[in-house]
C-alpha cells in the first residue's frame, strides 16, 4: 500500500517535456483496448487478489425517514486499484502519462450496496469515467445518492441517537480474488454540509473479511424543533386540562371544555404516530407519555361529569356524615394556615376580662355572629390562660371561633362540589406536572 501511495505522488508531480497530440491519445487508447478483456481480473498471476483501496466522501445527508427506516446521503467512493493491462511508456506517446477511459470499456470492481432501501443497484453509472496512469494505477470516483436501510431506535425521542450502517460488497468475487481495503478508518467529511435536523457525532469505515465495507454514521437528533412544536403544546394542554375545575358550573361549558382538550391530546397522538416507526420493541417513551395524558384527561372528564351531578343535587338530600367530616377537616386545615401577624402599633398583648363579648367584638367579630358562638367555651379558654398568666394570642381565639362557626354551618351539596373541585385541581395539576418532568428527565438523561 505504501508503494502504491508513493507511485501516486510521483505521478502527480510528473511533468512531461513533450506535448501529446490527438493522434497520440487515439493510438494509446486503441493499443490499450486492442487485446483488453474487461471480464478478466487485471492481475498477471490469477491466483493473487486484486487489492481495491476505497475512501468514502460525504457531501450531505439527504433524508432520514424514521417511519420507513431509510437513511440516504450524497456521497462518493474514491476507488483505486492496479491494472497491469493499462501500463505504457509515456515516451512512446508524446509524453502522455495519463488517460481517461469509459466506465463501460474496462474492468472495474463491482461494488454493490448490500443494505439498500429500494432496488439493489451496483455502484457507478454509464457516464462515469475512470482515469489511468502509465503505471497501471486506476482512479474511479463514482458519486451517487445512496439510499440505505437503518435500524431506528426512538425510545428516547426526541433526544435519541442513531447508528446507521451502509454496507458495500464486492459480489461475484471471493475474498482471495478481490480484497477491499479502506484507506482510513473514518469517513472523509471535508466537504460535508451541516444538516438541520441531525448532527454527525462520529463515523467509522471498516472492512469485514476484506469483502465487505461497513460505513457507520453516528447521528444525534437536534431536538429544538420537536420541543417547540410538540412537547411544549403537550405541556400547555396538560395545564389547560386542569383549569376546567376553575370554571363555574353555571356556565354549562365544563363538559365540552374537557372533552375538547381530550380530543386535542388525541390529535397529538396521531401526529406522533405518523412521525415514528410502528415498532413494539422498544416503544417510544413519548407514546407512554401521551397515553398517560389521555388517561389523566379521561379521568378529568369523569370527575367533571360526576361533580356536576353532585352540584345539581337537591339541598334537601342529606349529605353523608363522612363527607361532612372530610369537609370540616379540610376547612379547619385551611383556617389554621391563615395566620394573622400582629402589628406592633395596633395589636397588644390580649388580656382576658369578664367582658367576653366586648373583647370578641374588638377582634372584628360581628355582633350578629356572636349569637352562634359558644361563649362558655371561649370564656373557659380565656380563664385557663389567665390562670397560667399567659396571654391569649388573637390567632388562637380566631381559630377557635372560626372552627365553631364552621361546625354550626349547614354543609350542602354545592359546598361538597366546591371541595371536590379544589381537590381535583391540586391532584391533577401535581400528577400532570410530575408526568412531564419524569418524561423529560428520563429521555434526556438516558439519551446522554
The answer to whether residues 150 and 64 touch, using CB atoms and an 8 Å cutoff, is: yes
In the numeric block, the cell 358562638 is attached to 373
pLDDT for residue 337: 54
Task: Provide the mean pLDDT of the chain.
Answer: 79
pLDDT at 203: 93
Look at residue 421 and tell me whether its pLDDT is greater than 60: yes
The pair phi, psi for residue 271, each rounded to 5°, is -65, -45
pLDDT above 60: residue 133: yes
Contacts by 240-246, CB closer than 8 A, 24 or more apart: 241/296, 241/297, 241/300, 241/428, 241/432, 242/300, 242/424, 242/425, 242/428, 242/429, 242/432, 244/300, 244/304, 245/304, 245/421, 245/422, 245/424, 245/425, 245/428, 246/421, 246/425
Q: Tell me, which fold does domain 225-314+419-447 have in CATH? A: Methane Monooxygenase Hydroxylase; Chain G, domain 1 (1.20.58)
Bridge partners of residue 366, in order along the sequence = none
- Residue 344 banded pLDDT, cuts 50, 70, 90: very low
What distance in Å separates the CA atoms of residue 414 and residue 310, rounded to the nearest whole number? 7
Provide CB contacts within 8 A for 24, sequence distance 6+: 93, 94, 96
Q: Helix or strand or coil: residue 153?
A: coil
* CA dist., res. 104 & res. 126, Å (int): 6
pLDDT at 220: 93
The SS3 call for residue 257 is helix
Pairing of strands 178-182, 111-113: unpaired
pLDDT at residue 31 above 80? yes
pLDDT value at position 376? 47
Share of the chain above pLDDT 70, in %: 77
Classify residue 95 by burial, with Cβ atoms within 10 Å: 0-12, 13-18, 19+: middle
Torsion, Cα of 54, 25, 125, 115 (10° steps): -10
CATH class, domain 2-12+29-222, is mainly beta
Give yes or no for a cis peptide into 245 (omega within 30° of 0). no
Domain ranges of the chain: 2-12+29-222, 225-314+419-447, 321-408
The pLDDT assigned to 296 comes to 92
* pLDDT tens column, 164-223: 999 888 877 887 888 888 988 999 998 899 998 999 999 999 887 778 889 999 999 998
Cα separation, 10 vs 83, in Å, equals 17
Largest pairwise CA distance in the chain: 134
Distance of CA 121 to the CA centre of its chain: 33
How confident is the model over 68-85, as pLDDT tens digits? 889 999 999 999 999 998
pTM score of the predicted model: 0.69
Alpha-helical segments (H) within 13-141? 22-34
| C-alpha to C-alpha distances, 378 to 10, 59, 339, 361, 403, nearest whole angstrom | 110, 87, 19, 13, 12
Q: pLDDT tens across 289-306, in order?
A: 989 999 999 999 999 999
- Give the pLDDT band (50/70/90) at residue 110: confident
Cell 388573637, residue? 394
- Looking at residue 342, the DSSP 8-state letter turns out to be P
pLDDT tens digit string along 235-261? 898 888 898 888 888 888 888 998 999
**pLDDT in the model for residue 16:** 40
Amino acid at each position: 500500500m505504501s508503494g502504491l501511495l508513493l507511485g501516486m505522488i510521483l505521478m502527480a508531480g510528473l511533468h512531461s517535456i513533450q506535448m501529446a497530440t490527438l493522434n497520440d491519445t487515439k493510438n494509446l487508447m486503441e493499443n490499450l483496448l486492442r487485446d483488453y478483456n474487461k471480464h478478466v481480473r487485471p492481475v498477471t498471476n490469477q491466483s493473487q487478489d486484486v487489492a481495491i483501496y476505497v475512501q468514502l466522501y460525504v457531501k450531505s445527508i439527504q433524508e432520514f425517514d424514521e417511519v420507513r427506516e431509510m437513511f440516504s446521503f450524497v456521497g462518493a467512493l474514491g476507488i483505486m486499484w492496479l491494472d497491469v493491462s493499462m501500463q505504457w511508456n509515456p515516451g512512446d506517446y508524446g509524453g502522455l502519462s495519463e488517460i481517461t477511459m469509459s466506465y463501460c470499456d474496462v474492468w472495474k470492481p463491482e461494488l454493490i450496496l448490500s443494505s439498500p432501501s429500494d432496488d439493489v443497484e451496483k455502484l457507478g453509472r454509464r457516464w462515469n469515467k475512470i482515469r489511468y496512469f502509465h503505471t497501471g494505477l486506476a482512479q474511479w470516483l463514482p458519486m451517487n445518492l445512496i439510499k440505505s436501510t437503518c435500524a431506528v431506535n426512538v425510545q428516547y425521542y426526541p433526544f435519541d441517537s442513531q447508528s446507521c450502517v451502509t454496507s458495500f460488497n464486492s459480489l461475484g468475487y471471493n475474498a482471495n480474488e478481490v480484497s477491499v481495503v479502506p484507506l482510513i478508518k473514518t469517513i472523509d467529511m471535508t466537504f460535508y454540509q451541516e444538516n438541520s435536523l441531525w448532527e454527525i457525532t462520529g463515523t467509522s469505515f471498516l472492512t469485514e473479511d476484506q469483502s465487505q465495507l461497513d460505513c457507520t454514521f453516528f447521528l444525534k437528533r437536534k431536538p429544538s424543533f420537536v420541543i417547540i412544536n410538540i412537547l411544549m403544546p403537550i405541556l400547555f394542554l396538560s395545564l389547560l386540562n386542569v383549569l376546567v375545575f376553575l370554571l363555574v358550573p353555571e356556565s354549562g361549558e365544563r363538559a365540552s371544555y374537557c372533552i375538547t382538550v381530550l380530543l386535542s391530546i388525541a390529535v397529538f397522538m396521531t401526529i406522533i404516530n405518523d412521525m415514528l416507526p410502528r415498532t413494539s420493541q422498544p416503544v417510544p417513551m413519548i407514546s407512554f407519555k401521551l397515553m398517560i395524558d389521555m388517561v389523566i384527561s379521561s379521568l378529568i372528564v369523569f370527575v367533571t361529569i360526576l361533580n356536576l351531578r353532585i352540584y345539581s343535587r337537591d339541598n334537601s338530600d342529606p349529605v353523608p356524615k363522612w363527607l361532612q367530616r372530610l369537609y370540616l377537616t379540610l376547612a379547619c386545615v385551611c383556617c389554621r394556615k391563615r395566620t394573622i401577624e400582629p402589628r406592633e402599633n395596633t395589636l397588644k398583648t390580649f388580656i382576658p376580662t369578664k367582658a367576653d363579648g366586648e373583647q370578641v367584638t374588638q377582634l372584628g367579630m360581628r355582633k350578629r355572629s356572636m349569637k352562634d358562638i359558644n361563649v362558655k367555651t371561649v370564656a373557659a379558654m380565656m380563664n385557663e390562660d389567665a390562670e397560667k398568666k399567659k396571654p391569649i394570642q388573637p390567632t388562637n381565639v380566631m381559630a377557635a371561633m372560626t372552627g365553631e362557626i364552621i361546625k354550626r354551618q349547614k354543609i350542602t351539596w354545592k359546598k361538597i362540589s366546591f371541595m371536590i373541585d379544589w381537590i381535583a385541581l391540586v391532584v391533577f395539576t401535581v400528577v400532570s406536572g410530575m408526568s412531564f418532568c419524569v418524561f423529560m428527565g428520563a429521555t434526556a438523561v438516558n439519551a446522554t
